[in-house]
Amino acid sequence: MADNQLLRIENLVLHFRTERGAVKAVDGVNFELNHNEAVVVLGESGCGKTSLAKALLRLLPRNVQAYSGKVFLNGNDVMALNDEEFRRNVRWQQMSLVPQAAMNSLNPVLRVGEQVAEPLMVHAGISKEKAMEQARKMFDLVGVPEEFLERYAFELSGGMRQRSAIAMSLVTTPDLIILDEPTSALDVLTQANIFNVLKRIKKEMETSYILITHDIATSSELANKVAVMYAGQIVEVCDAMRFFHEPLHPYSRKLMASVPRLRGDKEPDFIVGQPPSLLFLPTGCRFKDRCPLRFGKCDEEPPVVNKEGHLVKCWLYV
């Protein structure tokens, strides 16, 4: 394990039971993250990004069919902990979540400050007074005026509510924060402000992020690493600079070509077809039916090829 390694995920699986069969939302995910690093998880809607976040935080629905793999956090396999140990020592304490649409999930009848302080009181057993003091510091950090601690969620703008949700995820000073589309449903200026807040937090608190987003352009500002997810699997992981210059997987290339650009006259590209159903996955490469570079080998399960630290699950690079 690298000295600086915070997280290592090995063969993480989360399948859901449905009447039609198992939905393989997370199907053998591997990746690593260091302290003070941000990985951006990219991929089309429905490829399993939110399920990956839930699997990491063990926030599981009732219809789980399979949940397995190893998740090493600071060198300890947290998958081996029982639910009580996980709840007490891992969730909130070591990793926290800013869920999708977090700004709409604040409790309308509790003052925002009390909600932000709550994880400290519940999970760290800290007195209300001290927890409120920490909440005040977090409000400062995310740029919410202190007097807003006394307000209710409906009295705050969308951007301020989202900042409050980020403050809540930070209040226990976890090493890792998982942010599930933290800027969707916000206007572009507010989106940029939120990304600046995340950058500042990363610098000041040395926090690591798993950032799930569709906003490839803005997230590139924050990302140290990129992981591309397709049909329940990670198909490419590498350093962000390298990824944005030269994505390797044919899916990643198409994804990048779909981002509109200001300069040049190249039209944004789109990817023909649909991802496969997570109920009925094809054998071999899961992208093969949409891949312009498909060849005979693609009917077999592609290996993960390591090209000088750039990992790509594709036969083209074998």
Ligand X SMILES: Nc1ncnc2c1ncn2[C@@H]1O[C@H](COP(=O)(O)OP(=O)(O)OP(=O)(O)O)[C@@H](O)[C@H]1O
In the complex, least distance from residue 63 CB atom to ligand X, rounded to whole angstroms:
5
In the complex, least distance from residue 252 CB atom to ligand X, rounded to whole angstroms:
15
Cα 65 to its chain centre, rounded Å, is 22
Nearer to ligand X, 26 or 160 (CB): 26
Segment near ligand X (CB under 6 A); pick from 15-23, 83-91, 145-153, 296-304: 15-23
Nearer to ligand X, 44 or 133 (CB): 44
Cα-atom radius of gyration of the chain, to the nearest Å? 20
Nearer to ligand X, 65 or 190 (CB): 65
Taking CB under 6 A as the rule, does residue 213 contact ligand X? no
DSSP string of 19-32, one letter each residue: TTEEEEEEEEEEEE
In the complex, least distance from residue 25 CB atom to ligand X, rounded to whole angstroms:
4
Angle at 119 between CA 84 and CA 199, to 5 degrees: 115
At 49 the three-state DSSP class reads helix
Among 6, 7, 16, 235, binds ligand X (CB under 6 A): 16
In the complex, least distance from residue 48 CB atom to ligand X, rounded to whole angstroms:
4
Nearer to ligand X, 28 or 143 (CB): 28
Per-residue x/- mask for ligand X, residues 42 to 61, rule CB under 6 A? -x-xxxxxxx---------x
- Name the nearest CA neighbour of 35 among 78, 9, 73, 70: 73
The answer to whether 205 and 197 are in contact (CB under 8 A) is: no
Site for ligand X in 247-306 (CB under 6 A): 278
Instruction: Give the separation between CA 27 and CA 258, rounded to whole angstroms.
Output: 26
In the complex, least distance from residue 295 CB atom to ligand X, rounded to whole angstroms:
28
Among 4, 11, 59, 63, binds ligand X (CB under 6 A): 63
Kindly report each contact of residues 117-125 with a partner whose C-beta sits within 8 Å and lies 24 or more positions away, as own/partner.
117/171, 118/168, 119/92, 119/168, 119/171, 119/172, 120/171, 120/172, 122/92, 123/88, 123/91, 123/92, 123/93, 123/172, 124/92, 124/93, 124/172
Nearer to ligand X, 99 or 159 (CB): 99
In the complex, least distance from residue 233 CB atom to ligand X, rounded to whole angstroms:
12
| Token digits of residue 52 | 């990956």
Count of residues that bind ligand X according to CB under 6 A: 15
Nearer to ligand X, 23 or 149 (CB): 23
In the complex, least distance from residue 198 CB atom to ligand X, rounded to whole angstroms:
19
Nearer to ligand X, 52 or 171 (CB): 52
Instruction: Give the separation between CA 222 and CA 193, rounded to whole angstroms.
Output: 12
Write the burial class of residue 95 (CB in 10 Å: 0-12 exposed, 13-18 middle, 19+ buried): buried
Segment near ligand X (CB under 6 A); pick from 16-24, 105-113, 197-205, 299-307: 16-24
Q: Which residues bind ligand X (CB under 6 A)?
A: 16, 18, 23, 25, 43, 45-51, 61, 63, 278
